[in-house]
Amino acid sequence: MLAISSLLLLGSLTGGGSTPSLQTEKPLPSAIPVYNFSLLLIGRNVDDADPADQQTGWGLEFDGYNPRDFIGWELGVSRTSEEDSSGGTKFEATVSEVYTGARKTWGASHFHPYAALGLAWIEGEADVAGVGSDSDSSFALYGHGGAYWTFGEHFNLGADARALVGSDIEFGDADYFQGAIVLGYSL
């Protein structure tokens, strides 16, 4: 009996018991949800928009995630346009978009890479001076990724690359590739 109690005491002193050491436990990520409001400054290359295919514009995006969850979400709006003259005729092309999708954001410190896929509703408009304008809308699929850095506890600065495919409007398509600077605020 003395031998058994000595072994139990010796085992608990040397860490041989079944209780794991607190030093080897991995801390769980924060369970506090993160919400980002972002302004995007966009440069976009639009298919079938010649001669106004190099467009600039803006976007507003709202996303949310919990660091413990596998996936988060996003929704946003954007608008880009370009005006060009060809042979004395003024031509303007505009692409407006509303989108929502699934988004994965990584990073537990100040650097946060992300990737997202979703569904967009786009409207393309072409306006030829003296002739008139035409517009049409379509659903499309998008994918994008990027990264942002959080300064202090709330201010974000980052970059984003995005592609939209599968649009089908009356005068071609409005598929595009874009790059953007991201200015945001985290809650």
> Nearest Cα to 42, choosing from 173, 167, 144, 154?
144
Span 143-175, pLDDT tens digits: 999 999 999 989 999 999 999 999 999 878 899
Q: Which domains does the chain have, with CATH numbers?
A: 35-186 (2.40.160.20)
Cα–Cα distance, 181 to 156 (Å, whole number):
11
As to burial, measured by CB atoms within 10 angstroms (0-12 exposed, 13-18 middle, 19+ buried), residue 186 is middle
Beta strands in 27-154 (DSSP E): 34-46, 54-65, 72-86, 89-105, 111-128, 132-151
CB atoms within 10 A of CB 55: 22
Span 68-100, pLDDT tens digits: 999 999 999 999 999 998 778 898 999 999 999
pTM recorded for the entire structure: 0.82
